[in-house]
Chain A
Amino acid sequence: MKKLDRAARTNLLTYGFVILAFVILQLLSRSPSFSPTLRGQLVPICAYVVMALSLNLTVGILGELSLGHAGFMSVGAFSGAVAAAALQNAIPSPGLRLALALVIGAILAGVVGALISVPVLRLNGDYLAIVTLAFGQIIKSLIENFYVGVDSAGLHFSFLKPSISLGEGGRMILNGPMGIPNVAKISTFTAGFLLIMVTLFIIFNLVRSRAGRAIMALRDNRIAAESVGINVTKYKMMAFVTSAALAGAAGALFALGQNTIVAVKFDFNTSILILVFVVLGGLGNMWGSIIAAAALTILPEALRQLRDYRMLIYAVVLIVVMLTTNSPQLKALLGRLLPHNEEKEAS
């Protein structure tokens, strides 16, 4: 049997780990004594994991700092939720409606990603970070001024002023700053799991392809990569748009698992939260992102017993994890404990 290389083994382990976690949680959630808090968090955890994975593609693989990732999530969330609400009568099956909403969310976020990548990808480093930051704010402001209603004649849109006249049986879906106040919850944990698997599949295959190597070459040394004929714009855009589309799907999944969504939810703080997941899990490290996103979503809820010290402890835990995972002594210790890895690195 041909020996699998290290990266392929890590990828397989990541798939296996996700499947195992899903099966265990699925079995646990059958029991009625399963914590209602965790049960309610299963879908958001999946959404945050996908967000972290997609941002890791931009930050870890492409090597560009994006501070507006929640903007793509927002586009996906609102387009997906509006689509699901509009199709409520046309498609009675919630599973099919959810799948369609995810696809619509991904496509729209991808389109927006492509649009903004044109000016953005002329920039590098800090400048790119600033522009993506502005992008997140622009998306928020746009959605806050957007009104959507539906009646028998179809969808009605208006901007700035809610000047929509709806016919018999019509209703407002998106109410500008008030967001969507009655989302029908159709996201399921299984759908979230499938989305994580699809995301992993897309990212792993992209990274291990010719295009992926080109993208990483750009990250490591742009000038050298250009000199050997790598098309900078094309490969940067490829990574950026993929990342945006995945974030859009995650947004749709998230929105359809909530009772209500408002544009302010997807603000700068959410972008930073996702970035914290990625950095904590390790840049370019996909399974690290998965664990960090899941752990940091559960942690604040698990710390509720600590009452007033909850957020303080949360911050301290973040700092401690940051310090320990970056400490060379700890890495050496881990290396000694896992001789397997050492042998791999030597070979």
Chain B
Amino acid sequence: MKKTLALILAVVMCVCLFAGCGGSADAGSTPASGDSGSSASAGSAGESGSGSGSTASGAAFKLGGIGPLTGGAAIYGNAAKNGATIAAEEINALGGIQIDLRYEDDAHDAEKSVNAYNTLKGWGMQISLGSVTSTPGVATSVEANNDHVFYLTPSASSTDVLGGIANPLTGTVDIPRKDTIFQMCFVDPNQGSASAQYISDQNLGSKIAVIYKNDDVYSTGVYNSFAPKAAELGLDIVSTTTFTEDTKTDFSVQLNDAKANGADLVFLPMYYDAAALILTQASAMGYSPKWFGIDGMDGILSVDGFDTALAEGVMLLTPFNADSDDARTKSFVEKYQAAYGEIPNQFAADGYDCVYAIYEALNNAGVTDTSLSASDLCDILIEQFTSMTFDGLTGDGMTWGTDGAVTKSPKGMFIQNGVYVGMD
């Protein structure tokens, strides 16, 4: 027994060590990573040397974000954090309203996420950039709503984050609306029904297979809205298979089922890591249908060791296109590449838009007093958000309703020669 124990503990140590390595990409990037509990935020904004004009004003609004900076979902947390960092640097350089941004790690876990939220609260956070992923977002949104803190999440797309939206399966509203919570991304059901609509409108496939991850809030949420919409539009779903966190290494059963049923389009509502494996395994078994993903698929091109040629022709529905000719997008992509050495994905753009949306709302309201309490700011921001129209990288003319969900139009994209290209 002692030997077993020793072995297991040794393995755990190794896992811990690797988990620690995951976050190395974001070293020293936050412009104003003030020490916890320090009240002199203005000084710390300049210390890290990244925000050139950030010391111009004496005080700054404290924005706190939470996301998985380590662990399996780290690519999303780091992307959102990097995007938000670039926005904060740009805004601080303008010299008007100053922003002090701090991100905390939650490793995609609800319990740690609440700890991170409390840490930010102790730091004096006035406005929350929410959680990046859905399950932690469900937990932190409750805290923010209880504390009456304005909470704009870049990418936690579950309806449970907002509350007040009927469960698509039972038609019941299980969680009352959390008034202070807003989303920058599409809410999951919109993604599912928009995907079904897109596939039907563009006539992309006649026989459709779906593979989704049934222990994931995001994946299940999209599927649950995709299936009824597909049925309504008369799409022929020939195969529906699932996998879980523990079985996400082998997809031969799911792929064989899709192949045996003659599916010519496979819908993959999941994150990119599993999708990369699916594409690799399908290629190995000589199965090459059309692939259709959603925003979680974004990031597949930066998976280590993934042959991007396999992703050739993959379609995905995402609101952001890094190859766009739009001047703001071009400048953002350039800055991002210079700072972090990779092409920004949709999560980075969402993070960037979140900071700018808050900045614009503060400007519209004419708020300059950085000593305002989080609760007062919350009232001002809710009023602004439900009335303003915002143009960002992830869409023009975005508006928010009192339900907290954003209205913007998704862009169909496909992968060509290793880059995303807009579909028309």
Q: State the A residues within 8 Å of B (CB).
A: 35-37, 39-41, 44, 63, 65, 67, 125-126, 129, 137, 141, 144-145, 149, 162, 164-166, 170-173, 175-179, 181-182, 258-265, 267, 269, 272, 275-276, 279, 300-301, 304-305, 307-312, 314-315, 318-319, 322
Tell whether B203 is near chain A: CB-to-CB under 8 Å. Answer: no
Residues of B within 8 A of A40 (CB): 114-115, 118
Given A166-B172, A258-B139, check contact A265 B109 (CB 8 Å).
Answer: yes
Tell whether B362 is near chain A: CB-to-CB under 8 Å. Answer: no
Q: B224's closest neighbor in chain A, by CB?
A: A162
The reply to whether B214 and A176 form a contact with Cβ atoms under 8 Å apart is: yes
Tell whether B215 is near chain A: CB-to-CB under 8 Å. Answer: yes
Q: How many A-B residue pairs have CB under 8 A?
A: 157
Tell whether B376 is near chain A: CB-to-CB under 8 Å. Answer: no
Given A170-B172, A319-B13, check contact A305 B111 (CB 8 Å).
Answer: no
Q: B37's closest neighbor in chain A, by CB?
A: A35
The reply to whether B20 and A259 form a contact with Cβ atoms under 8 Å apart is: no
* Chain B 169-180 interface mask (CB, 8 Å, partner A; 1/0): 110111100000
Q: Name the residue among B140, B170, B246 with the largest chain A CB count within 10 angstroms.
A: B170
Q: B22's closest neighbor in chain A, by CB?
A: A311
> Which B residues from 138 to 187 make CB contacts under 8 A with A?
138-140, 142-143, 158, 160, 163, 167, 169-170, 172-175
The reply to whether B23 and A308 form a contact with Cβ atoms under 8 Å apart is: yes
Name A276's contact: one of B9, B112, B216 (CB within 8 Å): B9
Report the bound CA distance from A311 to B135 in whole Å: 21
Q: What are 19 A-B contacts defined by CB distance under 8 Å?
A: A126-B1, A141-B244, A144-B214, A144-B215, A145-B214, A172-B170, A172-B172, A175-B174, A176-B214, A177-B244, A258-B110, A259-B143, A260-B110, A260-B139, A260-B142, A265-B109, A272-B8, A307-B33, A309-B20
Residues of B within 8 A of A176 (CB): 214, 220
Tell whether B383 is near chain A: CB-to-CB under 8 Å. Answer: no
Residues of B within 8 A of A171 (CB): 172-174
Residues of A within 8 A of B57 (CB): none
Query: Whole-angstrom distance from the CB of B269 to the nearest CB of chain A?
Result: 13
> Which B residues from 45 to 72 make CB contacts under 8 A with A?
69-70
Given A259-B142, A301-B119, output 11 extra A-B contacts at Cβ < 8 Å: A129-B1, A162-B169, A176-B214, A181-B174, A181-B175, A182-B174, A260-B139, A265-B109, A279-B9, A311-B16, A311-B23
The reply to whether A36 and B215 form a contact with Cβ atoms under 8 Å apart is: no
Tell whether B4 is near chain A: CB-to-CB under 8 Å. Answer: yes
The reply to whether A310 and B20 form a contact with Cβ atoms under 8 Å apart is: yes
Query: Whole-angstrom distance from the CB of B131 to the nearest CB of chain A?
Result: 11
The reply to whether A260 and B135 form a contact with Cβ atoms under 8 Å apart is: yes
Residues of B within 8 A of A165 (CB): 170
The reply to whether A265 and B111 form a contact with Cβ atoms under 8 Å apart is: yes
Closest 8 CB pairs of A and B: A311-B20, A312-B20, A315-B16, A259-B142, A36-B118, A181-B160, A259-B139, A177-B215
Query: Whole-angstrom distance from the CB of B299 to the nearest CB of chain A?
Result: 21
Query: Whole-angstrom distance from the CB of A327 to the nearest CB of chain B?
Result: 16
Q: A305's closest neighbor in chain B, by CB?
A: B36
The reply to whether B244 and A144 form a contact with Cβ atoms under 8 Å apart is: yes
The reply to whether A36 and B119 form a contact with Cβ atoms under 8 Å apart is: yes
Query: Whole-angstrom distance from the CB of A213 to the nearest CB of chain B?
Result: 21
Residues of A within 8 A of B170 (CB): 149, 162, 164-166, 170, 172
Query: Whole-angstrom distance from the CB of B373 to the nearest CB of chain A?
Result: 14
Q: A311's closest neighbor in chain B, by CB?
A: B20
* Chain B 243-271 interface mask (CB, 8 Å, partner A; 1/0): 01110000000000000000000000000
Residues of B within 8 A of A269 (CB): 15
The reply to whether B114 and A258 form a contact with Cβ atoms under 8 Å apart is: yes
Residues of A within 8 A of B221 (CB): 178
Report the bound CA distance from A267 to B173 in whole Å: 29
Residues of B within 8 A of A179 (CB): 135
Q: A283's closest neighbor in chain B, by CB?
A: B5
Tell whether B19 is near chain A: CB-to-CB under 8 Å. Answer: yes
Residues of A within 8 A of B121 (CB): 36
Tell whether B391 is near chain A: CB-to-CB under 8 Å. Answer: no
Query: Whole-angstrom distance from the CB of B5 to the nearest CB of chain A?
Result: 7
> Which B residues from 210 to 249 make CB contacts under 8 A with A?
214-217, 220-221, 244-246
Report the bound CA distance from A307 to B102 in whole Å: 11
Q: Name the residue among B109, B115, B220, B244 with the largest chain A CB count within 10 angstroms.
A: B115
Tell whether B122 is near chain A: CB-to-CB under 8 Å. Answer: yes
Q: Name the residue among B36, B172, B244, B245 with the largest chain A CB count within 10 angstroms.
A: B172
The reply to whether B9 and A322 form a contact with Cβ atoms under 8 Å apart is: yes
Report the bound CA distance from A272 to B5 in whole Å: 10
Report the bound CA distance from A301 to B20 in whole Å: 14
Tell whether B327 is near chain A: CB-to-CB under 8 Å. Answer: no
Query: Whole-angstrom distance from the CB of A322 to the nearest CB of chain B?
Result: 7
The reply to whether B1 and A125 form a contact with Cβ atoms under 8 Å apart is: yes
Q: Name the residue among B105, B138, B216 with the largest chain A CB count within 10 angstroms.
A: B138
Tell whether B26 is near chain A: CB-to-CB under 8 Å. Answer: yes
Report the bound CA distance from A276 to B167 in whole Å: 39
Q: A167's closest neighbor in chain B, by CB?
A: B172
Given A65-B5, A181-B174, check contact A37 B119 (CB 8 Å).
Answer: yes
Residues of B within 8 A of A129 (CB): 1, 4
The reply to whether B23 and A65 form a contact with Cβ atoms under 8 Å apart is: no
Tell whether B89 is near chain A: CB-to-CB under 8 Å. Answer: no
Residues of B within 8 A of A141 (CB): 244
The reply to whether B115 and A301 form a contact with Cβ atoms under 8 Å apart is: yes
Q: B115's closest neighbor in chain A, by CB?
A: A301
Residues of B within 8 A of A305 (CB): 35-36
Query: Whole-angstrom distance from the CB of A191 to the nearest CB of chain B?
Result: 18
Q: B219's closest neighbor in chain A, by CB?
A: A177
Query: Whole-angstrom distance from the CB of B82 to the nearest CB of chain A?
Result: 14
Query: Whole-angstrom distance from the CB of B119 to the nearest CB of chain A?
Result: 5
Report the bound CA distance from A267 to B72 in whole Å: 15
* Chain B 26-46 interface mask (CB, 8 Å, partner A; 1/0): 110000010110000000000
Residues of A within 8 A of B17 (CB): 311-312, 315
The reply to whether B115 and A41 form a contact with Cβ atoms under 8 Å apart is: yes
The reply to whether A318 and B16 form a contact with Cβ atoms under 8 Å apart is: yes
Report the bound CA distance from A272 to B9 in whole Å: 8
Query: Whole-angstrom distance from the CB of B14 to the nearest CB of chain A?
Result: 9
Query: Whole-angstrom distance from the CB of A323 to the nearest CB of chain B?
Result: 11
Residues of A within 8 A of B5 (CB): 65, 275, 279
Residues of A within 8 A of B215 (CB): 144, 177, 262-264
Report the bound CA distance from A69 to B21 in whole Å: 28
The reply to whether A315 and B13 form a contact with Cβ atoms under 8 Å apart is: yes
Report the bound CA distance from A149 to B15 in whole Å: 38
Query: Whole-angstrom distance from the CB of A280 to the nearest CB of chain B?
Result: 9
Query: Whole-angstrom distance from the CB of B162 to the nearest CB of chain A?
Result: 11
Tell whether B417 is near chain A: CB-to-CB under 8 Å. Answer: no
Residues of A within 8 A of B175 (CB): 181-182
The reply to whether B174 and A137 form a contact with Cβ atoms under 8 Å apart is: no
Report the bound CA distance from A39 to B114 in whole Å: 11
Tell whether B12 is near chain A: CB-to-CB under 8 Å. Answer: yes
Tell whether B24 is near chain A: CB-to-CB under 8 Å. Answer: yes
Tell whether B100 is near chain A: CB-to-CB under 8 Å. Answer: no
